[in-house]
Amino acid sequence: MKLKQFGLTIIFFTLINFTVIAHPNKSTPTTLNIELTLKQQLGEYHPPYVASWIENSQGKPVRTLLLWREQAKWLKDIRRWWRKVGKKDAELVDGITSATRITGKYPLSFLAENDEKASLKKGKYTLFIEVVRENGGRAIIRQPFSLNGEKSTFTLAATNETDEIKFSVTP
Amino acid sequence: MNVKKFIALTLTCAISTQAFAHSRWVLPTHFNLSAENGEWIMVDITASNETFNVDKAMGADFVKIIMPDGKTSRPSSTYKGHRKSVADYFLKESGTYKITNNSNAAYMTTYEIDGDRKRLWANKTELSGKLPDQAKEIQTTYRYSRIESYVTMNTPSNNFNTDGKLLELVPVTHPSDIAENEKVMFKFLFNGKAQKNVSVEITADGVRYRNDPQTIKLRSNAKGEITFTPQNAGRYLLIAEHQENTPKSTLADKQMGSVFLTFEAQLN
């Protein structure tokens, strides 16, 4: 083997190794797809305040996916989310806020990352969706799921504030 | 259990039942608030054995609010009615506020005369001339009651300073984190030290509308702690009491501290 050839071979193998080591689980990051539905209501209607977030298996919140709200005064009414997340993190609240939505279907997609944009580790989590409406009711939906490299799909039963919601975890 | 122990235990129970006879509480309109530019609360102040229906107005003169920075402030206005007093207060800064309507520490002497139980606000050295000659069963108690609640606006703070006077409750679970079906822990101090065996009763709102008050009865452990799990979201009144004989004191035969804490268990 000539020296040049030997050198190239080394480089070639190094590249392969490098590729393998640098991307141990490299694939497209897992996405969480939620087809959120806000139910048609009768009578006086104020668009609901909505928060959706993920808690780990210890019940610790790791990521707020969305917050649809208007005035700060009513944030406390998104009870669990405010207690576990909102009250403690004014910056996060500002950063994630968007306007309330009316009745309808909202397809949404999120990367399975924590609030610091790092990929969530393999393991068990729970998706929460909390919907609170002035002069209406409150609904809280909990759906346990796993991040284990496998696809899973869930249909979340309708509540007083939501129609059926499709939720999928796609690696 | 031998007979002596049994009698001792029965007596303890009898004393606690008697001592728990009179409730006082403060009830804020909100326990948890979110706001950009501050928020108003109002507080009901009453002496009532019915949780949380008002009965007799207590004055709001002693109402103090300990702000998140530890400074003390007062209600902006108060009103005294026949059944309750109300206090108005504006929360300006984020954090946890402690609302108190503590009594003044005082010496109370009780005695019996012709089968009637009477009381007199005096310590042992002040009794001569005030006490009828036939008075029996004379006992002087140094008493102090804390009537309190916590209100949190936005980010909670640990506004849990203690002053070491008789009985104190220190939240281990932050009051703004209390939720239905989640374990709550509080700690009791007596004269600044962890106190075991403090009698505690916890009753949920709405006693008027149920036959069984469903009061939770607990005793603090060796570290002064109690743990319990509120079964429902709602407002709760916690009443704690502890007393000790003070044989060395020339002023009182015993000292007794009580705490009346109003808190909210949130929906989960």
What is the full DSSP assignment across A31-98? Answer: EEEEEEEE----SS--PPEEEEEEEETTS-EEEEEEEE-S-GGGGGGSHHHHHHTGGG-HHHHHHHEE
The percentage of chain A sitting over the pLDDT mark of 90, rounded to a whole number, equals 77
* Cα–Cα distance for residue pair B265/B183, rounded to 1 Å: 11
Q: What is the pLDDT of residues B33-79, one digit of tens each?
A: 999 999 999 999 999 999 999 999 888 999 999 999 999 999 999 99
Instruction: Name the band, by pLDDT with cuts 50, 70 and 90, for residue A29.
Output: confident
DSSP structure class, residue B67: -
- Alpha helices of chain B — where are they, by DSSP H? 3-19
User: Which pLDDT does position B57 carry in this prediction?
Assistant: 87
- Which of chain B's residues have a Cβ under 8 Å away from the Cβ of A86? 34
Max CA pair span of chain B:
64
- Which two structure tokens, joined as six digits, stand for A82? 């405010």
Check CB contact under 8 Å for A83 and B266: yes
Tell me the residue length of chain A: 171
Contact partners, residue B151, CB within 8 Å, separation at least 6 = B28, B30, B31, B32, B33, B41, B91, B96, B97, B99
- The answer, yes or no, to whether residue A3 has pLDDT greater than 80, is no
Q: How far is A53 from chain B (nearest CA, A)?
A: 14
> Backbone dihedral region of B120: left (phi > 0), alpha (psi from -120 to 50 degrees) or beta?
beta
- Which of chain B's residues have a Cβ under 8 Å away from the Cβ of A74? 34
Q: What is the pLDDT of residues A124-155, one digit of tens each?
A: 999 999 999 988 899 999 999 999 999 999 99
User: Which pLDDT does position A22 carry in this prediction?
Assistant: 43
- Which of chain B's residues have a Cβ under 8 Å away from the Cβ of A88? 155-156
Q: How many CA atoms lie within 13 A of B240 on its CB side?
A: 28
* Cα–Cα distance for residue pair B225/B183, rounded to 1 Å: 13
User: Which pLDDT does position A6 carry in this prediction?
Assistant: 52
Task: Determine the residue of chain B that is closest to A78 in CA distance.
Answer: B267
Q: What is the pLDDT of residues A94-128, one digit of tens each?
A: 999 999 999 999 999 999 999 999 999 999 999 99
Q: How far is A90 from chain B (nearest CA, A)?
A: 8
Radius of gyration (C-alpha) of chain B in whole angstroms: 20
- Which two structure tokens, joined as six digits, stand for A4? 């040049």
Kindly tell me the sign of the dihedral angle through the C-alpha atoms of B250, B254, B255, B260. negative
- Where chain B has pLDDT below 50, the residues are 1-20
Check CB contact under 8 Å for A72 and B36: yes
Instruction: Name the band, by pLDDT with cuts 50, 70 and 90, for residue A2.
Output: low
> Backbone dihedral region of A35: left (phi > 0), alpha (psi from -120 to 50 degrees) or beta?
beta
